[in-house]
Chain A
Amino acid sequence: MDFSLTKEQINFKKSVVKFAQRELNRGVIELEQNGEFSWDGWRKCANFGIQGLPIPSKYDGLEEDILTCLLAMQGLGYACKDSGLLFAINSHMWTCEIPILNFGTDEQKGKYLPGLCKGAIIGGHAMTEPDSGSDAFSLRSTAVKKGDKYILRGAKMFVSNGPIADILLVFAVTDKAKGFAGISTFIVEKDFPGFSVGKPLDKMGLRTSPTGEVILQDCEVPMENRLGKEGVGAAIFNSEMEWERSCLFACHLGAMERQLEACIRYAKERKQFGKPIGKFQSISNKIADMKVRLELSRLILYKVAWMKDQGKKAPIESAIAKLYLSESYVASCLDAIQIHGGYGYMKEFGIERDLRDSIAGKIYSGTSEIQKNIIASWLGL
């Protein structure tokens, strides 16, 4: 394995950090309080090329390799305080763009990818249902062929970007008898008859990322909007999750890096009992723990990136990365608040917001418990 970064990759990450610091942090506290999506931030990221990072240039993407994408996400996580915006961008990229790139026909790629890269079209996916979360493939939404269309029926829950999406990859059952292998995927446009979205859901964290319910009431989807063959839905979902578990969590890596720097700075400046608090082992040990988590997170994430770059599947590695990073980020947020004491608990400092945002990481893309099940299953248990 070779994780060494090129000069171009390092410079690109620096340019992402500068861009995010300069352009993405205005009014974040108000946006967060009001649960508002930053359209301005979305457009600026699109103009920079973020949404099209992994997509070939013929579809208006930047055609960057996976490690460079991961570094860019790390840079955003480090410098952008609007985690909801980053979550929306990640959902758009890994659960919509990449599956269309990997499973779509030339016509589907030509029709949707340029708009997705430019940010003119917002994407996402709709898998979870009111009664199927961790047991994702027990979904009940159905798709039945009728002439040159599929008729989709069902309801989807907790759909990231649902309230603002122009297209969603919707998963539905086409052959119930075949279980997980009877699920297919459809590119559903918001204007298709029978498609509607509920109100944005009010959340504990990631409040600037719109999440909602999607209703499919005899939704008419043209045959040409089926993504991949019938029955390939589970493979599409698993592939998406591998990408999301790798790249989305690079933002957490960046955020942990920022937190560590802030804690070191604070532990050197803040004095109690006549000396900097960093001189007390109760504080310095916490900071050492944060550093260990950061470095181990970086290693497992880069390993997954390297494997995917080699064209290898990485189901167990991406499960380990997702589990370790999401748990580490929550632990780092708690340590950062404790180190900052009362100030860390105040909204003004933003650390409490990081904590609220971090909790979701243990739930989306498969809960921590599901990641452990995946790992155990690969160990033959």
Chain B
Amino acid sequence: MQTIDILKQFITDELVPDYNPDDLDDNLSLLESGIIDSLGIMKLVAFIEEKFQLKVSDEELIPENFETLSALSKLISQKQ
């Protein structure tokens, strides 16, 4: 499973159960669409840290890094 697909699965399982993974475009703004809220980002970070065995610092929690699935995937690959 590709990183983006893993993220899509988590987001649709845990954060927005009404969404289908296929509805999530890689470049859709997860912030402006309200898919990730302030609690959701904490859960997403905890998931990423555990699943990919890496550490995301608080300073990295800026829109450039988690606004879209593409940005998230890029952040993860940079850290692996």
Contacts and interface: CB of A to CB of B under 8 A. Distances in A.
A9 to B, nearest CB: 27
B42 interface: yes
Contacts of B67: 178, 181
Contact of B59 (A103, A175, A182, A374): A103
A271 interface: no
Contacts, number: 66
A235 B42 CA distance: 9
Interface in B45-78: 45-46, 49, 55, 58-59, 61-64, 66-67
Contacts of A228: 59, 62
A259 to B, nearest CB: 34
Interface stretch (B1-9, B20-28, B30-38): B30-38
A180 B32 contact: no
A239 B39 contact: no
Interface in A186-202: none
Given A180-B38, A231-B63, A378-B43, A236 B32 contact: no
Interface in A328-381: 373-374, 377-378, 380
A313 B14 CA distance: 19
Given A181-B63, A313-B45, 9 more contacts: A102-B58, A177-B31, A178-B67, A179-B34, A180-B31, A182-B63, A234-B41, A238-B42, A313-B46
5 contacts: A177-B32, A178-B31, A179-B37, A181-B66, A232-B59
Interface of A: 102-103, 137, 175, 177-182, 228-232, 234-236, 238-239, 311, 313, 315, 373-374, 377-378, 380
